[in-house]
Amino acid sequence: MSDFTLDTPTQEPGLGTAMKIVYQWNYEPEIDELRNLYVKAAEAQWVAGREIDWDRTIDRDKFATTPLGTPLPIEKTSYWKSLRPEQVWEITRKTASFRLSNFLHGEQGALMVAAQLVNAVPHTDAKFYAATQTMDEARHVEVFARYIKKLDEVRPIASGLRSILDRILATDNWLHKLVGMQIVIEGLALFSFKEMRNLTEEPLLRELLTYVGRDESRHHAYGVQYIERCVPCLSDDEREEIEDFAVECARMLIDIRSSGLFNDILKVWGEAGVDPNELLLCINAERDDLLRDMPRGQRLGPVQGFVIPTLRRCGLLSERVAAKYHEFLSANPAGNAFGKTVQEFLRDLPDLPEDTAAWLMGEAH
Ligand SMILES: [Fe+2]
Ligand SMILES: [Fe+2]
């Protein structure tokens, strides 16, 4: 007898959403850059089971180079250096499976939002592009799940990430969905994938992040190109509402990084025999040295280093919201705001890379 059922034990009760679906009767190309991106995406499709050799086992020695992704580089502390190689492997493996699990769940969120965008965006070119992104995100879910299975086990989604995905899935405003997913979540993903892809020497992980990263840089381009077209058409009130939605999503991200995620990671480390108190004492004692040695891009983090510059490019960074970003980034120890005033903060924001795909592969700044 088949064990196929309509209700599966791993599914959740449905989340009520308020999305409006838009038919569009104009089928002619209208936004050339999006139509080109759609063709580029169609040409760049890849098949995970064919392009990547999954028979390889994970190279343990090389895997030790995989970054932990904490706001401060814990791997540079004296505590870390005192650990035995066996413990380093255990901690790196568990931390990576925790991070990759959240990438995986985030990809599922991206898959569902991309599918919603097909329904909700009003322009045909934008619907076409969102269709290709939906396919990309399905593949990303597939590859992260396959890699985690080799490494450890899938861990549950971090609660903060779940809240932000729910917020983006539930809104009825397609521009909010675009800004929340394509700019804030994709910005965080690009930043994290770049760091992991360029630092890890584990060949299978590096290869899959190369494939995923190429797709993600297109997703980011879609967000930027579409939103910068739309923003000048908005009334002041509409624009302010979207700016505030972006602030809300970015603030949630900062909170996830500084408190939620770090506590979850400490729990994971406890499983590998690390004493969290000892580690925290060591981080506090060595904090200044750790900060001094960090490259500027890493010190800035994903929100300041990538998400806010993207919002500026899209026309969604007025002085009014810049003050809000400056305030919460300054108040947050992991936020690391540069500049004492809003004007200094704006002046010191980095520019977006000219070629996002090259930047992601570490070939451009
Ligand atoms: Fe993705
Ligand atoms: Fe994406």
How many CB atoms are closer than 10 A to CB 15?
10
| φ, ψ dihedrals at 332, nearest 5° | -105, 125
The CATH class for the domain spanning 32-47+72-360 reads mainly alpha
Biggest alpha carbon distance in the chain? 68
191: closest CA among 69, 97, 73?
A: 69
pLDDT at res. 76: 85
* Cα 115 to ligand 1 centre (Å): 13
Task: Tell me the percentage of the chain whose pLDDT exceeds 90.
Answer: 61
Instruction: Give tens-digit pLDDT for 46-60.
Output: 999 999 999 999 998
The domains of the chain are located at: 32-47+72-360
Between the two ends of the chain, the Cα-to-Cα distance in Å is: 58
State in Å: Cα 106 to ligand 1 middle: 8
Report how far ligand 1's centroid is from the alpha carbon of 128 (Å): 17
Q: What is the dihedral of CA 193, 197, 198, 202, to 10 degrees?
A: 150
Grade residue 348 by pLDDT with cuts at 50, 70 and 90: confident
Which residues, in sequence order, are CB contacts of 13 under 8 Å at separation 6+? none
Residue 256 pLDDT > 80, yes or no? no
Residue 303 pLDDT > 70 = yes
| 15-32: average pLDDT | 94
CA proximity to 357, closest of 168, 256, 216: 216
User: Which residues are near ligand 2, the ion (C-beta closer than 5 Å)?
Assistant: 110, 216, 219
Which ligand ends up closest to the CA of 108?
1
Residue pair 94/152 in contact (Cβ under 8 Å)? The answer is yes
Give the per-residue pLDDT at 300.
79
Produce one character per residue of 286-310: b if its CB has 16 or more CB atoms within 10 Å, e if not: beeebeeeeeebbbbbbbbbbbbbb
212 CA distance to ligand 1 centroid (A)?
7
